[in-house]
Amino acid sequence: AQSVTQPDIHITVSEGASLELRCNYSYGATPYLFWYVQSPGQGLQLLLKYFSGDTLVQGIKGFEAEFKRSQSSFNLRKPSVHWSDAAEYFCALDTGRRALTFGSGTRLQVQP
């Protein structure tokens, strides 16, 4: 069965600092991979997705993610974090059945 692991439950960074959120997946083939963001009391919003091709994908709000098959990873990055980026971030995969399997999430706190 497929699974997604987000090793970091909570991360705190200073505003303006760079950010990397880790995501590892377990699946026998290459899945479709997603990063979603959830602000407090809100639903989930898609940041970016990877299907195939270029392993570095660009998303909204200045985020990017890199797919590394050898490491079964899909880490999310942002070069300079803004206070408004404080939220919870979820990595997810779709094996082709269209339903998503989510990681446990990483809560990002941004210090001024």
Q: Which is nearer to another protein, 15 or 30 (CB)?
A: 30
Q: What Å distances lie between residue 98 and 32, 92, 95, 101, CA to CA?
A: 9, 11, 7, 10
Instruction: Say if residues 48 and 60 touch (Cβ distance below 8 Å).
Output: yes
Q: Which is nearer to another protein, 81 or 101 (CB)?
A: 101
Q: Which is nearer to another protein, 12 or 45 (CB)?
A: 45
CB of 94 to another protein, least distance (A): 5
Q: Which is nearer to another protein, 28 or 43 (CB)?
A: 43
Q: What Å distances lie between residue 42 and 12, 50, 76, 103, CA to CA?
A: 21, 24, 21, 18
Residues that bind another protein (CB under 8 A): 32, 34, 36, 41-46, 49, 51, 90, 94, 96-105
CB of 70 to another protein, least distance (A): 22
**Minimal CA–CA distance to 61: which of 42, 77, 44?**
77
